[in-house]
Amino acid sequence: MKAIKYTLSAIAIATAATALVAQDATPTAGVVTRRRPGQEEPAATPGVTERQQGLYDNGSLSDADIQWLRIIYREIDLTKPVNAPLYFPEELEEGHENLFRIIMRLLADNQLTAYEYLDGREVFTEKYKVPVKDILDRFHIIYEPARGSNDKNPRYTIDESDVPCNEVLSYYIIEQWTFDTRNNRLKPTVEAICPVLHRAGDFGGEAIKYPMFWIQLKDLRPHMALQQIFVNDDNNLPTCTYDDYFTLTMYEGDIYKTRNLRNQSMAQMYPDAEDRQRAQDSIQARLDHFEDNLWTPTREELLARAEAQAAAADGEANDSVQAAPVQARPARTTRRSTRRQPAVQESPASRQAGAVRSVRRRK
């Protein structure tokens, strides 16, 4: 019995020592949070398994299913209230992170792949991958190599205060509007997202936009699905995730480019601001009413449409009548025009011609 007790004690001591060694040897990377005195340590974010990643990779449609495709580039302005959930909280707050902090933490931990911003012809291949070190050096983000980092698995440590969350005031996204035969509907899907840095010069002035890099959203979706957010000030309970926010298109963004043969932006195609706005509204209207032109309307829909058109026409007619100036009746100057005209007397022949013969007298 003593031998068995000594053996169990030795196993327990060896297991504890192995756990301590493994804990010390585990490299730490990502965004490091400097806690204030008395501040609770934020809860660790659970990792994403390969099975979870596969749920987002296998949901894409095949080329045979897609019958119509339109590529739309949008700019999401984070200063708008509807897009505020992507910006706040600026600092780490009770385990809640904004979108840019999540992206930087995953990039520093080598869990995401960044691609070069090519201004309109984005290619997400091995050739256009951007090393994380080049991104940090290009935008002057202070970092340190993490423990255990090597050339095959480069990992970095970034202090929380060095993440420029307050300068990322907009995002570029690539939308794919597809009509597929599997669902028989037009659906927008966000393909990629690009943080845009708004940074002023050394002498002040208007801030200049610096697109940083592209991230494929399918790589980011499993991590966004783990972050709960609330989307308005009326309900402070987190009701959705970042993944829901993009899947349900709860954001608002202006169209700044569409994929075209000349690879021109809307500003290049329409230099005038009013013409550009009309073109953007026209593109959005065609996307919104694309499905209306696919199906034959029913009889009830045709009648409702005709009634709506008739009501609109009557409203325009009434408005034109009310808007037309009332012309004054010309004054009568002659005494003859003021005399009362004598009544015309009917002749007996006309009265007889207009009378109806009685049926009784017919033979």
Answer whether 229's CB lies under 8 Å from 240's CB. yes
Q: Which two tokens stand for residue 83?
A: 């897009």
The partner residues of 186 in beta bridges, in order of sequence, read: 179
Backbone angles phi, psi at 63, to 5 degrees: -65, -30
pTM recorded for the entire structure: 0.73
pLDDT by residue for the chain (363 residues), tens only, comes to: 444 444 445 445 444 444 443 444 344 577 764 544 444 444 444 566 766 666 666 556 777 889 999 999 999 999 999 999 999 999 888 878 999 999 999 999 999 999 999 876 789 999 999 999 999 999 999 999 999 999 999 999 999 999 999 999 999 999 999 998 888 889 999 999 999 999 987 777 889 999 999 999 999 999 999 999 999 889 989 889 999 999 999 999 999 999 999 999 999 999 999 999 999 999 999 999 898 788 788 899 889 989 999 999 988 777 665 655 545 444 444 444 444 444 445 454 444 444 444 444 444
Residue 296 CB partners (closer than 8 Å, separation 6+): none
Q: What is the pLDDT of residues 143-197, one digit of tens each?
A: 999 999 999 999 999 999 999 999 999 999 999 999 988 888 899 999 999 999 9
Angle between helical axes of 99-108 and 217-224 (0-180°, round to 10): 110
- CA 28 vs CA 9, 143, 147, 155, 257: distances in Å: 31, 13, 6, 9, 40
Backbone angles phi, psi at 5, to 5 degrees: -65, -45
